């Protein structure tokens, strides 16, 4: 192997990503698929221990649904980044407002659900 080929091979190895986007996509998909089920199980168990199984099941399921939201946000992030470019200011601004809006929406919904779940 020539010196130039060895250098090119070394550069390829250095530039290679630690985790590929496909791996992250798969991890988010798996989390979204099993998150609500695990939430039901954990919430039901905690609810049973605290003698409010129904509240635990509902709360656990809703927390598990956040994995679906995370997967959706990952997909949206990829679409926006592909459209605007990873290193652009426009991408940063769009992602900032998008993630902040989703975070505020989740927070508002969670605040209402806490009140509702206390009545269950």
Is the confidence at residue 84, as pLDDT, over 80? yes
Is the confidence at residue 17, as pLDDT, over 90? no
pLDDT, position 86: 85
Distance CA 42, CA 64 (A): 10
pLDDT, position 11: 60
Nearest to 74 by CA among 22, 37, 16: 22
List the chain domain ranges: 19-119
pLDDT tier, 27 (very low <50, low <70, confident <90, very high otherwise): very high
User: In percent, how much of the chain has pLDDT > 90?
Assistant: 72
For the stretch 52-73, pLDDT in tens is 999 999 999 999 999 999 999 9
Is the confidence at residue 43, as pLDDT, over 80? yes
Distance CA 34, CA 28 (A): 10
52 DSSP assignment: -
What are the start-end ranges of the H helices in the chain?
A: 3-15, 21-49, 53-84, 89-119
Q: What is the mean pLDDT of the chain?
A: 89
Please return the burial class of 82, using the count of CB atoms within 10 Å of its CB with bins 0-12, 13-18 and 19+: exposed
pLDDT, position 119: 84
Is the confidence at residue 99, as pLDDT, over 90? yes
């Amino acid at each position: 192997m020539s010196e130039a080929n060895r250098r090119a091979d070394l550069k390829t190895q250095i530039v290679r990503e630690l985790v590929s986007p496909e791996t992250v996509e798969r991890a988010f998909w798996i989390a979204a698929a099993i998150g609500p089920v695990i939430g039901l199980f954990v919430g039901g168990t905690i609810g049973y221990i605290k003698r409010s199984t129904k509240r635990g099941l509902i709360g656990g399921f809703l927390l598990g649904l956040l994995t679906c939201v995370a997967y959706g946000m990952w997909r949206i992030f990829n679409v926006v980044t592909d459209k605007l470019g990873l290193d652009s200011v426009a991408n940063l601004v769009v992602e900032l407002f998008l993630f902040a809006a989703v975070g505020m929406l989740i927070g508002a919904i969670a605040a209402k659900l806490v009140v509702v779940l206390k009545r269950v």
